[in-house]
Structure 1
Amino acid sequence: MKKWMIGCLIVAAAGTGLIYWFIPASLQVGESLYVKCTFNGVRRTMQNNSWERWWPGAVKSKPYELDGFTFQPDSTSNNALSIRISDAGSAHASTMLLIPYQIDTTIITWGSIVYTGGSPFSKLKAYFHARELKQSLHAAMLAMQRFMGKNENVYGIPVWETKIQDTALAAIKTYYDHYPGTADIYQLVASIEQYVAASGAHTINPPMLNVNQEKGSNQYEAMVAIPTGKLLPGNGTVVPKKMIHSPIAVTEVKGGEATVRWAFAQLQQYVQDTHRMQPVIPYAVLLTDRSRETDTSKWVTRICFPIF
């Protein structure tokens, strides 16, 4: 009997010693992953209180809940977020760091410290608590990675990059004291089409449009160009334009002029976030013939930003 008790005491002492040996006074709990998104895109998404758009838990409002933990974003800085994590019996401060890695890739780390206490029982409890917390952080960050890996979630529009295909254009540039409407634009389109037909050529793709307001004035500069397949000499009013096969950032949207202007701004943000330069002006390709389709909700417009 005494030997059995002594054996139990030895095992208990050894177990306690192992607990103190393997479980320190504090445990670092954290996750790190790569997100296929620009640094500024990730930062805006995380700082604009838009967690409900990607949060994987059932409760998609502050405080956010997941696997028995609640997550309360507290404060933000340029590249860090403070997030309070709590459950029924504990609370922890945590920090999420955003680290630029490549132009289109960001590293996100999220970490916290779990203090284990002084007794072997509190250490064991804290150890399993830390494991559960790590699993929750992992699930949240995977959801974040999937969400931010799609440009339409970050910029509100799908964005892809390709190269300019139509390089020979016939163009007209003119000025208005008002924002040019559909009738104004298609009057220019008709002038180009008439010139192209009279030249024995033909147009090969829909018209391209750029409208720019002169700074400090109410004047608008409008340029309309149509791909012609070959470069024509022009006639004074219609002029030839030669493009090169340069890279372009592209999106397509459906809707009226307000939607198109908003999409221009979003694509401009993408270009800035990827630190690209614009060698020439951006333009819209009018995929829908707006002179025939009066329902603006059916207009489809492709927006192109030449970049390098």
Structure 2
Amino acid sequence: MRKWLVLLLLLILVGFCAFFFLLPPKKYIRQQEQVSFSSKAFSRGLFNEATWQQWWPGEKKDTTTFRYKGNTYSIGKKNLSSLLINICNGNDTLITELLAIPLTADSIELEWVGASRPSNNLFHQLQQSRWVEGLNSDIETLLQKMKTFYTQVDNVYPFKIREVKVVDSTLISTSATVDAYPTPTLVYGLLDKLKAYAKLQGANETGLPMLNITAKTNGNYLARVALPIDKKLPDTDEIQYRWMLGGGNIFVTEVKGGPHTIQQAFTTMDQYANDFNRVAPAIPFQSLVTDRRAEPDTARWITKVYWPVM
């Protein structure tokens, strides 16, 4: 009887030892998600940790620390194409890396990887193993949340950009070069010339006045204005016929504010076109919704910003 008891105890001991040594010393995190979107735009949004609060499904402690299902995620070092993220739960800590790997101009692969530190305690290893299994499931969910959020254009850019078709294709235009930023008085003086010429020629306005201001290298500014009309008119010394491709593609956004806000919108449009590999066949322009001569408060100006693309 004793021999059988000793043999049973030995078998149990051998079993425990075998189980201990067969357990992998490290537990791994590895989750992947492929995204079809501009790789540049997606990465720029993802690496701006201030935006994480907008999609994170759990508690947001600050701009770099978040909680989800009992675990604390802390964003650490930011590399060129990855973020180091520390995950903690009690005494357990896991250093992980979130990589954003561009595959093409319009696709990117997200990969979240990490490995736990091995424990000498068998029971802690078992606990750690269950914890890491749960983390793999949680991280799969978090990657899906990232994908959904950063593939929405309105979440990546500060202005709501739409692509529409060109409607006003027949224009008359004039311009002036000045040594200071063009004032509303100057701009509307040029537009008054166009309106008077259109009326003289029996043409009707079909849309809002257009404006493009270009800073020259010598410190001067070139102000170009245009007026959409319903028929082609002959050129004069000061006024020229201009044409845009009717039905062509054009980006548009509407902004409220003065020159600084409008310039921000142009910068965003440029970035958006570059992110999605679109080329501008013509100069961008403002469409003047508010009569700026009648409204001196620039904070109240409404402007549509257009960026032709192909």
Matched, 1:269 2:265: no
Say which SS state the counterpart of residue 291 (structure 2) adopts.
Answer: coil
Q: Which residue of 2 aligns with 1:166?
A: 168
User: Cα gap change, 1:200/1:113 in structure 2, threshold over 3 Å: closer, same or farther?
Assistant: same
The one-letter code matched in structure 2 to 1:92 is L
The one-letter code matched in structure 2 to 1:214 is K
Say which SS state the counterpart of residue 26 (structure 1) adopts.
Answer: coil
1:160 deviates by: 2.1
Counterparts in 2 of 1:180-195, with a 5 A limit?
180-195=182-197
**Contact 2:163/2:249 (8 A) holds in 1:** yes
Residue-by-residue CA offset, 1:104-153 (whole Å, 9 max, x unaligned):
44332212223565666344322320132123323433332333223233
1:279 deviates by: 2.0
Q: Which residue of 2 aligns with 1:58?
A: 59
CA RMSD of aligned residues (A): 3.1
Q: Which residue of 2 aligns with 1:78?
A: 80
Residue-by-residue CA offset, 1:188-215 (whole Å, 9 max, x unaligned):
1111111111111111010111100101
The one-letter code matched in structure 2 to 1:175 is T
Say which SS state the counterpart of residue 187 (structure 2) adopts.
Answer: helix
Q: Which residue of 1 aligns with 2:39?
A: 39
- Partner Cα distance (2:171, 2:235) in 1: 10
Residue-by-residue CA offset, 1:277-296 (whole Å, 9 max, x unaligned):
22221111112222333443
Identity of aligned residues (%): 27
**Contact 1:42/1:148 (8 A) holds in 2:** yes
**Contact 1:207/1:226 (8 A) holds in 2:** yes
1:9 deviates by: 10
Q: Which residue of 1 aligns with 2:133?
A: 131
Q: Which residue of 2 aligns with 1:145?
A: 147
Say which SS state the counterpart of residue 42 (structure 2) adopts.
Answer: helix
Residue-by-residue CA offset, 1:252-278 (whole Å, 9 max, x unaligned):
212222211111112212222223322
- Structure 2, unmatched stretches of 5+, are none
- Equivalent residue in structure 1 for 2:283, among 281, 304, 307: 281
The one-letter code matched in structure 2 to 1:54 is W
Say which SS state the counterpart of residue 33 (structure 1) adopts.
Answer: strand
- Partner Cα distance (1:165, 1:10) in 2: 85
The one-letter code matched in structure 1 to 2:221 is Y
- Partner Cα distance (1:285, 1:198) in 2: 23
**Contact 2:46/2:150 (8 A) holds in 1:** no
Q: Which residue of 1 aligns with 2:26?
A: 26
Q: How many residues align?
A: 306
Counterparts in 2 of 1:77-226, with a 5 A limit?
77-114=79-116, 117=119, 121-215=123-217, 217-226=218-227
Deviates more, 1:46-55 or 1:284-293: 46-55
Say which SS state the counterpart of residue 27 (structure 2) adopts.
Answer: strand
The one-letter code matched in structure 1 to 2:46 is M
Q: Which residue of 2 aligns with 1:299?
A: 301
**Contact 1:151/1:157 (8 A) holds in 2:** no
Say which SS state the counterpart of residue 232 (structure 2) adopts.
Answer: coil
User: Cα gap change, 1:120/1:54 in structure 2, threshold over 3 Å: closer, same or farther?
Assistant: same
The one-letter code matched in structure 1 to 2:232 is L
**Contact 2:42/2:151 (8 A) holds in 1:** no
**Contact 2:28/2:115 (8 A) holds in 1:** yes
1:41 deviates by: 2.3
**Contact 2:249/2:309 (8 A) holds in 1:** yes
Say which SS state the counterpart of residue 180 (structure 1) adopts.
Answer: coil
User: Cα gap change, 1:164/1:48 in structure 2, threshold over 3 Å: closer, same or farther?
Assistant: same
- Partner Cα distance (1:188, 1:208) in 2: 11
The one-letter code matched in structure 2 to 1:188 is L
- Partner Cα distance (1:10, 1:168) in 2: 92
Say which SS state the counterpart of residue 73 (structure 2) adopts.
Answer: strand
- Partner Cα distance (1:16, 1:234) in 2: 95
1:101 deviates by: 4.0
